Structure 1
Amino acid sequence: MDEEIEHFCHEHPLILASKWQIHNAGEKNIHCYGCCKPVYEPTYTCSIDCSNSRFIFHKRCLELPWSIEHNRFPGRLLTLTIDNVYYCCNCWRLCKGFAYLGSSSDGLEFTISISCGCLDYLLEEQRSIKHPSHRHPLTYVRKPSSLFHCDGCGTEERDFAYVCNFCEFWIHKSCTLLPTTFQSVSHHQHLLSLNYFLPHVYHRFRFNCDICHHRIYPMYWVYFCASCRFFAHVKCATQQTNSIAGPSNSNTEQEDGSLIQLPVNKVSTDLIVPFLIRQKVLPDIDDALSTTIPTTNQPQYFNYEHHLHPLTLVIFSNEVATADGEQINVTDDEGEMMLCDACITPIYKSCPPHMYYRCDKCKFFLHLSCYNLPSELEHDHGEGLHKLSLGMKGALSWSDCDFCSRPTNGLFYRCEDCSYTIDVKCASVLAVIRHEANRQLKLIGTRVKQRSFFDCSACGYSISYWYAYASENYDFNLHPECAMLPRIARHKLDKHPLSLAYPPYSHHSGDIYCEICEKEIHPKRWTYYCRECDQFFHAYCLTRSGWYRNIKFGHQLVLEKCHQSDHSLTFTLGSLRHRCSLCPSVVYDEIAFECASCYFSCCSTCAGIAVPSRRCFLFV
């Protein structure tokens, strides 16, 4: 057809319009004025006022014959017309748009909609078509078939069908009309492309629909954006009312302004201090942190209940205390980053309250906020309020947190009656949170019922145990340990801070690989990323975000049965040797006891010390 045509349905000439002109006209749900169906394919619009979406017609609707004969009305000529509202005399539905007008033998006029089943064949080019999704011709079944499973969209419903006479291939008639590309309201950035199977390059991973969050099966049709790794079922993508996440209610935002948004910058001040205020340990003062935590009456030396040696208060100089900008870690005499022995997070120089406690005899450090942790706590972990007591086992002993399932050798709270254990970071988190990865959703702490499986939006592994943070519709869910991933991590392979990053990684073309394990990273999973070096890391490959994130390493000890007594061994993650010096066990990147002076490395079994094993996830 020509780029500009004249048609009786409209007084002005009609021009062929691109999808961009149509969808930028200001309306979200645009329908053809002829058949009243959504506009996904080549269309014509008014040449005088293209922004008037009322006069938009499918190209195929304008190609309808102006007059026809039908076997149900022999000898009667039916003429194409257009009307605002009418009843179809065949199906008795209230319709509008194009219709065929005729008269019966007694002179009574009747109107039949072009969308009625008896005229449906007029909108098909031919009874047998060659569709790019299948190698054989497909035959159109004019009468609605019984329920059948569509080999295109993968759904089962009653619809007109195209069938293959050579093999068992059935697809909905509506699926054959799907546009190859279109702009979805669920994905505004780029056009979505139709593919008749999940592209082979993505078969290495399992993907969920980014609209309904159910699994995408490789054998069915899919709309996708290669740049953003956006995938959607064809039915979900073409439902224009769908969106990934609805807009937040302003009243809800105002009511929930006190909710903690993870990840926090500093656990000691952004997580534990609000917890101390809720526990009435500190006054609720909306002022600088230095006024929230009293700094003038802190003891200079004192005996701490959970440590053998007395602790000393250390105050930073004014120059360091007033420094702005990047967070500055405190390091010990050997250049190692100081970690608080309570919450197992770094101690910073350049943030309030500019002081901490340390042990002069060993590497024991304590945030000022962690020093103020209450010795007892009432906690509801799904079975009513229980009384928990603060405790610590020691540097070479640990407890498993029942909230995040991570082992810790820091401070924890434990119930004497049921042995429920929770580390101090998890105890400080509220039952309802927000997360930076999806600020529009409130995540509610939920006990996971037995045999209830749904996937974590961060790591992709199933959530099948104890506790989870989930949105109301379970379309965005997080393991507690994933919800509490630190905002910043570090690794020796990169001199820059690594920031927690969320998909899509549209700024990075091609596949992404972890710099540590050198394995490909699922394009829908959270990572740590260095923008300066353009490097990605699995969260579980980094020490401060992986399985041992709540374990403080660096403790020195002498094991005479394993190594000479004049050499002390360091409790660490193995890095000197691949295997244990005493047995064939692999110690690299596992808990080990190493002597840097003589290149000796001993596994935990040979050392006679029980260590926590890494949990195996169930991936579905």
Structure 2
Amino acid sequence: MCKEPIGSFHLCYYYCKSCDYSLHKFCAELPKTSQNNPLHPDHNLKLLLYLLTFECRVCNLELKDTYFYFCDFCSYMMCIICATTLEQKINHASHPHQLDRMFEPIVSRCGACGNKHDGFFFQCTTCPVFRINLDCALLPAKLLIQVSTNGAFSHSHPLTLAYSFPESEYYAKFRPKCRVCNGGFHFHLWNYKCGKCLYYVHVDCATSKTPASLGKTYKNYKEEEHLNLLNFPFQDEGDNLLKHHMSNQKALIGKCHDGEMFNHFSHKHQLILLDKQTSVGKKPVSLHDPMKRVQLLCDGCVKPIVTVPFYTCCQYADEQCCFVLHEWCAKLPSQIQDYFGHPEHPLVLMPNIPSKFFGVFKCEVCKLASNGFAYGCTICEYYVDINCAFIPEEITHDAHPGHLLLKVKPSEIWKDCKACDNPMYMEWRFHCPSCDIYIHVKCALLLPRVIKHKLDKHPLSLRYEPVENHIEEYFCEICEDEFNPWQWFYHCTTCAQSMHTRCVPFILQYEQATSRFFGEGVYKFLNIKFGGTLEIKDHPHRLSFVQGVESHGKCSNCRLSRFLRPYRQQLTYNQMIFKCMECEFALHYDCASSFVSIE
């Protein structure tokens, strides 16, 4: 009769099963003649069926093929919704009091979704500030969003309507974002959620057919206009930015053959190219394989060497020198002009920075420590690792598909990284102008799509949001700490195992070595190649350059000045240290640099 939906809050209604004919209770019980109607008290109104279009004199809506009340005396026409407004009281699960339908359509903010609506509202007479729009009042208690959002946002489980998001639950679930628009939630507003997964979505986003998404549906660029556009993350640890950059530099790479000798200015011995075989003389050179606890890191980019060709020292067979280089790292240009972060002076390729103790420097772009090759300006003490020297101006990323991410300069404006959720201040980053999303350079470029780890026999995939059918809390299998699944992490679907991105370095260190400190989206020693020894005064044994673990105890230098240093600085755990393998003596990197070294 009134052509409006029958909601669950109507409690009961009339239904003819054989005809599939339904009526609201108040519509079915309408009198044929309405006397002393408060909206038209002067004359009686007759209930009629009108098959043409008419306009209700109360709500001003145009209606067609529906029942209405008509006054013969003054030709007054009123729809049956307006005629029965006083009887349309509902009991809604979202509120403890009965709600009354307001007389006329209004423009007001809805207490359910928080948005402004133009239409009919239900209002609580006990709590006048509580008011919900008719559309929100009719929201289904459960729904699927696979079809209703053009298939761009799908979830395999039914979503349940929740009438609030309690603050305690919100923070316990690590402050989730809407899976459609990536916006935040208000504690008092409704949302749809999945009881089996950490999946939450605004009511508007769940029911809209064309949501204002973050570009997951439509591209904001044309591929033919952006040639050689790199898509991140790279597939695995064997791929990196230098490889892609140098593959286009045919003049620099040239044509080399297996076994050819090569003199590189960074090394005192000749290098030999391994192209088909992986052995020097009779000594095999094992490629990097985390599953077999085999580590082979390039001395240039400090990234794994997982395939030929690569260069190794000709004295590798005698175990006197284990220097290795990717083919592309051996052919890098000697300098870079007009570098985006330091255009004042050219940056010169430096295999070692003499002013830095043990060759360790902090990259000005990714802010990670490194002891690999660098491009630097000694005049300004400006150094970047060779990976950061060739960062493209624009990229795409699977975490934010369909939109270009542009490289932007460091800024004093604080922004949160979409990957690690840590604030960015005066750091290089990638930015999506359409969605105002930011990602650290190191998070965007240094985390591969698939990684292998000794704790899981299957490859681990980089995840950007919680996994479906994962209702338990998320714990890192390495450091055993609970973590926020809205930050990127690695996950094995077969074993249902998850790990921090900072705890799954493909560089093999000690079995116990993990990174349990917050604020690290990327393994902090990702660009450090541990190894080598140091001899210092007043200690009879040589010290090895390693990552500190719990069993190494405290720094022997800090411990002597414990009244001057905070307790945490005494520990060697998760720091670069020099450790004596014959006794308990250990030194922080900074403490070791203060000693007068013999070599």
TM-score where L is the length of structure 1: 0.73
CA–CA distance in structure 2, aligned partners of residues 95 and 238 of structure 1:
25
**Map of 1:540 onto structure 2:** 502
Report what 1:213 is aligned to.
182
2:434 & 2:23 partners in 1: Cα distance? Answer: 37
Give, as a single letter, the amino acid of the residue that structure 1 aligns with 2:412.
Answer: Q
Aligned twin of 2:580: 595
1:555 aligns with 2:519: no
Aligned 1:301-340 pairs, distance under 5 A: 301-304=262-265, 306-307=266-267, 309-315=268-274, 317-318=276-277, 329-330=287-288, 337-340=295-298
C-alpha displacement of 1:375:
1.5
Which deviations, in whole Å up to 9, do the C-alpha atoms of 1:284-329 show, x marking residues without a partner? xxxxxxxx7522399614242x44x2242142554899xxxxxx73
CA contact (8 A) 2:310 2:324 kept: no
Deviation, 1:47, is 9.8
**2:549 is the alignment partner of 1:574:** yes
Residue identity in the other structure for 1:71:
P
Task: Please name the residue that 1:345 is paired with.
Answer: 303
2:386 to 419, 424, 447: 424
Runs of 4+ in 1 over 6 A off after TM superposition: 36-50, 56-62, 156-159, 382-386
- Secondary structure of 1:548's partner? coil
2:154 matched residue in structure 1: 188
* 1:197 and 2:164 matched: yes
- Structure 2 residues without counterparts, runs of 5 or longer: 281-285, 507-521, 560-566
Which residue of structure 2 aligns with residue 285 of structure 1?
A: none
Distance in 1, Cα, partners of 2:105 & 2:201:
27
* Counterpart residue type for residue 487 of structure 2: R
CA distance in 2, matches of 1:496, 1:77: 76
Residue 467 (structure 1) shift: 2.9
1:461 to 417, 422, 427: 422
Residue identity in the other structure for 2:164: F
Give the % identical residues. 27
Secondary structure of the residue aligned to 2:502 is helix
Matches within 5 A, 1:278-293: 281-282=251-252
Residues 374-417 of structure 1: per-residue CA shift (max 9 Å, x gap): 12223553787863322242672333323322222222223567
Distance of 2:399 and 2:341 partners within structure 1: 27
For 1:464 and 1:43, the matched residues in 2 are separated by 60
Shift in Å at residue 551 of structure 1? 1.6
Contact 2:259 2:275 (8 Å CA) reproduced = no
Aligned residue in 1 for 2:193: 224
Q: What secondary structure, in the 3-state scheme, does the structure 2 residue paired with 1:102 have? A: strand
Q: Counterpart in 2 of 1:102?
A: 70
- Which string of whole-angstrom CA distances, capped at 9 and with x for unpartnered residues, describes residues 34-69 of structure 1? 34999999999999999xxxxx99978976848563
Question: Matched residues in 2 for 1:418 and 1:233: separation?
Answer: 51
Answer yes or no: is the 8 Å Cα contact 1:269–1:369 preserved in 2.
no
Q: Does structure 2 retain, via aligned residues, the 8 Å contact 1:295–1:353? A: no
Q: Is the 8 A contact 1:36 1:96 kept in 2?
A: no
| Alignment counterpart, residue 413 of structure 1, candidates 372, 375, 391 | 375
Q: Amino acid of the residue matched to residue 527 of structure 1?
A: F
Letter of the structure 1 residue corresponding to residue 326 of structure 2 = H
The residue number in structure 2 matching 1:247 is 217
Task: Assess if the C-alpha contact under 8 Å between 2:192 and 2:202 holds in 1.
Answer: yes
Counterpart of 1:546 in structure 2: which amino acid? Y
**In 1, distance between residues paired with 2:278 and 2:263?**
27
**Contact kept in structure 2, 1:378 and 1:385, CA below 8 Å:** no
Q: Distance in 2 between matches of 1:514 and 1:201?
A: 21
Deviation track 1:541-588 (CA, whole Å, cap 9, x = no partner) reads: 334541221122122222334x423x4323323353343355262222
Please give the alpha-carbon distance, in whole angstroms, between the structure 2 residues aligned to 1:60 and 1:418.
Answer: 82
User: Hey, what's the Cα distance between the residues in 2 that align with 1:552 and 1:609?
Assistant: 21
Whole-Å separation in 2 of the counterparts to 1:506 and 1:599:
47
Quick one: structure 1 residues 335 and 448, their matched pair in 2 at CA, closer, same or farther if it must change by over 3 Å? closer
Cα distance change on mapping 1:266 and 1:87 into 2, 3 Å: same
Change (3 A) 1:60 1:216: farther
Closer/same/farther in 2, CA of residues 488 and 125 from structure 1, 3 Å limit:
same
- Equivalences for residues 19-30 of structure 1 within 5 A: none
Match of 1:18 in 2: none
The answer to whether the Cα contact below 8 Å between 1:556 and 1:571 also exists between their aligned partners in 2 is: no
Partner of 2:202: 233
RMSD between superposed Cα atoms in Å: 4.4
After superposition, the Cα gap between the structure-2 partners of 1:73 and 1:346, relative to the gap in structure 1 and judged at 3 Å, is: same
**What residue ranges of structure 1 are gaps of 5+ in the alignment?**
1-8, 10-32, 51-55, 283-291, 322-327, 611-620
Matched, 1:478 2:433: no
8 A contact 1:39–1:58 mirrored in 2: no
CA distance in structure 1 between the partners assigned to 2:435 and 2:144 by the alignment: 26
Alpha-carbon distance in structure 2 between the residues aligned to 1:247 and 1:119? 44
Partner residue in 1 for 2:132: 172
Aligned-residue offset at 1:434? 1.7
Taking CA–CA contacts closer than 8 Å with sequence separation of 6 or more, which of the two structures ends up with the larger relative contact order?
A: 2
Deviation at 1:432, TM superposition (A): 1.5
Asked if 2 retains the 8 angstrom alpha-carbon contact of 1:329 and 1:347, the reply is: yes
Structure 2 distance, partners of 1:571, 1:213, is: 41
Aligned length: 543
Out of 579, 589, 597, the residue aligned to residue 604 of structure 1 is: 589
Distance in 2, Cα, partners of 1:457 & 1:300: 46
Q: Is the 8 A contact 1:66 1:80 kept in 2?
A: no
What residue number does 2:540 align with?
A: 564
User: Aligned partners of 2:271 and 2:13: how far apart in 1?
Assistant: 78
SS at match of 2:245: helix
For residues 252-401 of structure 1, what are the structure 2 equivalents within 5 Å?
A: 252-256=222-226, 258-265=228-235, 271-277=241-247, 281-282=251-252, 294-296=255-257, 300-304=261-265, 306-307=266-267, 309-315=268-274, 317-318=276-277, 329-330=287-288, 337-348=295-306, 351-353=307-309, 355-356=311-312, 360=316, 361-379=320-338, 381=340, 387-391=346-350, 392-393=352-353, 396-401=358-363
Distance 1:481 1:331, change over 3 A: closer
